[in-house]
Amino acid sequence: MKRDRENATISVSGLLPSVEDTAIKRLFRDCGEVREIKIKTVGGQTVATVEFVSKDAVPAALTKDKKQLDGEEITVHPDWQSTLYVTNFPEDYTAADLQQLFEAYGAIFEVRWPSKRLKATRRFAYVQYTSQVCLSVVTCPVR
């Protein structure tokens, strides 16, 4: 089965800095099989992404929004609402360049660069924010 990261992943915020992936996995155990959990502290906020094996797990996972985890209320949203697809940037741009360019729009969880893994001359990346973003077309200055 082809991986569908953008549609099979949720973002979770409102986490304690001491949260462990086992606690997150336990919270979402009745939603579907978890493929990967990433936990990061960004801008003083601890956030996580939970990627399921199937996108069919996401609707059940969204019902966990406003639930308690380790005594804290969490926020859950579909990852696609916080991920920006970026293309047509200069060939010499790095993940750090993209992060610097887009951090004005919110705290960035990570910059993923799948195109470089497949072919060095392909230029697209994903900028994943810690919360939902509302970006229409953004024209970025080229250095």
Radius of gyration of the chain (CA): 16
What does the pLDDT look like over 64-79, one tens digit per residue?
Answer: 999 999 999 999 999 8
Distance (Å, rounded) from C-alpha 45 to C-alpha 14? 7
Note the pLDDT tens digit of each residue in 79-130.
888 888 888 888 888 889 999 999 988 899 999 887 555 666 667 888 998 8
CATH 3.30.70.330 in the chain: give the residue spans: 9-79, 82-129
Which CATH number fits the domain 82-129, given the four candidates 3.30.420.10, 3.40.50.10860, 3.30.70.330, 3.40.390.10? 3.30.70.330
3-state helix, strand, coil in the chain (%, to 5): 25, 35, 40
The CATH number for 9-79, chosen from 3.30.70.20, 3.30.70.330, 3.40.50.720, 3.40.47.10, is 3.30.70.330
Quote the CA–CA distance of 130 and 53 in Å, as a whole number: 21
Predicted structure pTM score = 0.81
